[in-house]
Structure 1
Amino acid sequence: MVRGRHNPCYVIAAYVLAMLLLLSATPSPLKAANQKSQIVCFVYHRFGDERYPSTNIRTEVFREQLAYLKQNNFTVWTMGMAVNAIRNGDVVPPRTVVLTIDDGYRSFYENGMPLLEEFGYPATLYITTANVGNPDFLNWQQILESQQRGIEIGNHSHSHGHFLDAGSDEERKSLFISDLVTAQTLFNEHLDYTPVLYSYPYGEYDDVLEAVLEEAAYISATAQYSGVLFKESNLFEIPRFPMGGPFATLKGFIQKSQMHPMQVINKEPEGVVMQQNPPMMVITLNSNCIDAE
């Protein structure tokens, strides 16, 4: 994943190589670190909206995915449940997944949420507040109704901007705080609710944005690189597997639902955004992180 895509100085993020290593793992049982506390998270955008194939999942495929979870005794949590379990050191049930939805498109309300209710599964919906009420997006009444029907609501920013393009650390911090306050004001006004879960627009973030969220009492933030959440994860860099376009298949969903984390002990250089293109990176893994049982 490229962060700050409008600014050539921002190149490949440090975790891309870790993602590739993770994807090299097989779905078979592994001696991966902390298997008992691992959670696989997915991100969706549009449901049954063929106009935008790159971010859409066909409703019949989404139904097949939910049926697979049901038939194979998966536990489905909201992101809040997953984050609290990791923070508290709770035991995570085997085969636990989290289903998240970004942006707040109306197709989720019309096509996605009814299927979740049919199977009895919760989900976490991250709302971009500037788009609420626009064509193709949920309005505040529909968001409130979704919340009342068991959907957890998170913040996906107000503007859905490329915050990493804002210049200096102070400029970036100021812009991000302003956007965060605007979104939170709207959530309070329309839902009487302050989210504590955040989803970075475009999956773009850095240490400055993370620090702002922590100071604002958020408990987690999600990105858009592939990987598995486990007890050593940074809760402000939560990985999610995308379920849109060519990735939105039943076969891919099954494979990803069985992935395990590969614990990185150390990585060089530090930081999230790399300045060198292509980046030079060295990582250290546990010696048994890919040994089959």
Structure 2
Amino acid sequence: MTFRILSFLALISGLTASAADEGVRVSVLGYHDFSETEEETEMKIRTSKFRRQMESLETLGLKVISMEDFQAWKRGDKSIPDKSIVITIDDGWKSVYDEAFPVLKEFGYPFTLFLYKNYVDGGGRALTIPMIEEMMEHGATIGSHAVSHPYPAQVKKFRREGPDAYDKFLRGEMGESKRFLESKFGKAVTTYAYPGGFQTTEMFKLGEEFGYEQMFTVLPAKVRRDTPDHSVPRYIILGTHDHIFELATAFNDLPGMASSNDSAIVQKTPYPVQPEPGALIDQRLPLISADLSKAGPIDPETVTMQIGGFGQVPATFDPESGTVAWQVNRHLRSQGCQVQINWKTPEGKSPEIPLRWNFRIDQEAAYVPQN
């Protein structure tokens, strides 16, 4: 199954801000297959890389929430932390149990399995029912991924045959999968992931009829409370495109980047940085720096620093000390700031996870009159 790397798209044109939108944003991650020894592909990610990504969520202070909490928030029944993460895994490969599940259990992260009926207990590399049940005992929930995982070309073929044939086909794929999963696992199935990301308006109506509260796409964007439930975006994390995880976990371009809850976030970085992660500073023109002396060989020409609200800044890198720094030359006026530093090795390889952290500004202590 191949996905094109998509740029950010407007989910629905003409959407206006809702009073229900309190500024919270959620990033839904989508994974497929895992292996430490096999070659990485778009759908298959190295297990060690997956573990580093899960560790990065903790380092960045991003809260991983359950699908149940996500749904309660979407209904307006519950509050969740800003910059929350939902983890989903499609199809039902056995590697989910063998490779990903131990990592998720280690970090205590809840996750959702989008399963299609024909691959449950399908032999070979498919998850077995006991495996799925064990994962459900340790934080997993299940959602539907249709009966046969039909590819877009097959769906379009049935649609061309007319409304009756198309309705029969969709009812079988969307309805029977839900009935099967609920009967096998004894839990209500209220989420659906479009196979291949292909969706039509007919699916929206049937999804509501079958009781799917949210239906997930493969279009990358942050989720807000008023995002349409029939087209919930997801970042499909590809084994061959590391920058998608970076985009999924970057919230600096969104409102509420430094909410009042940020003071409770404990961040860590692999290298010393200033201001320190999560620090509350009393000045608006700080020196921002990072010590990369233990990051291994670095091509000095490739070191870049990006600051929320500024974009890429003219930071300087000292190869002898391994320090990259930039003196802020324009007053920071927001209550929070995110920094990201990237580099490449002399062989042209980038770090799998960039150096990124937040700090906050004490707006009263660092008051600057608005001119």
Equivalent position to 1:210, from 194, 204, 211: 204
Map Cα deviations across residues 209-265 of structure 1 (whole Å, 9 max, x no partner): 011010111101101111111022111111111112322x2x542332124569xxx
SS in 1 for 2:64: strand
Equivalent position to 2:102, from 74, 90, 114: 114
Whether 2:10 is the aligned partner of 1:18: answer: yes
SS in 2 for 1:138: coil
Whether 2:53 is the aligned partner of 1:61: answer: no
Name structure 2 gaps, 5 residues minimum. Answer: 12-19, 256-332, 335-371
User: For residue 176 of structure 2, what is the aligned residue in structure 1?
Assistant: 182
Whether 2:190 is the aligned partner of 1:196: answer: yes
User: After alignment, is 37-46 or 48-57 more displaced?
Assistant: 48-57
Q: Partner amino acid for 1:43?
A: G
Contact 1:44 1:243 in 2 (8 A): yes
SS in 2 for 1:36: coil
Contact 1:126 1:155 in 2 (8 A): yes
Distance in 2 (CA, whole Å) between partners of 1:154 and 1:74 is 23
SS in 2 for 1:202: helix
Give me the TM-score of the superposition, normalised by structure 1. 0.74
Shift of 1:174: 1.6
Q: Partner amino acid for 1:68?
A: S
User: For residue 47 of structure 1, what is the aligned residue in structure 2?
Assistant: 34
Equivalent position to 1:76, from 64, 77, 82: 64
Shift of 1:63: 0.9
Distance in 2 (CA, whole Å) between partners of 1:52 and 1:177 is 35
Q: Partner amino acid for 1:204?
A: F
Whether 2:243 is the aligned partner of 1:254: answer: no
Map Cα deviations across residues 178-208 of structure 1 (whole Å, 9 max, x no partner): 2233223322332123311111111111110
User: For residue 270 of structure 1, what is the aligned residue in structure 2?
Assistant: none
SS in 2 for 1:218: coil
SS in 2 for 1:152: strand
Shift of 1:17: 4.2
Shift of 1:82: 1.2
Larger RCO, structures 1/2 (Cα 8 Å, 6+ apart): 1
Whether 2:211 is the aligned partner of 1:224: answer: no
User: After alignment, is 159-168 or 93-102 more displaced?
Assistant: 159-168
Contact 2:28 2:87 in 1 (8 A): yes
Distance in 1 (CA, whole Å) between partners of 2:198 and 2:113 is 18
Shift of 1:35: 6.9
Shift of 1:131: 0.9
Distance in 2 (CA, whole Å) between partners of 1:184 and 1:255 is 32
**Identity score, percent:** 24
Select the structure that is richer in helix: 1
Equivalent position to 1:93, from 81, 94, 111: 81
Equivalent position to 1:123, from 90, 111, 128: 111
Distance in 1 (CA, whole Å) between partners of 2:84 and 2:148 is 32
RMSD: 2.8
Name structure 1 gaps, 5 residues minimum. Answer: 4-12, 20-32, 263-291
Q: Partner amino acid for 1:196?
A: T
Select the structure that is richer in strand: 2
Distance in 2 (CA, whole Å) between partners of 1:212 and 1:232 is 20
Equivalent position to 1:139, from 93, 108, 128: 128
Distance in 2 (CA, whole Å) between partners of 1:169 and 1:42 is 34
User: After alignment, is 47-56 or 204-213 more displaced?
Assistant: 47-56
Contact 2:235 2:244 in 1 (8 A): no
Give me the TM-score of the superposition, normalised by structure 2. 0.59
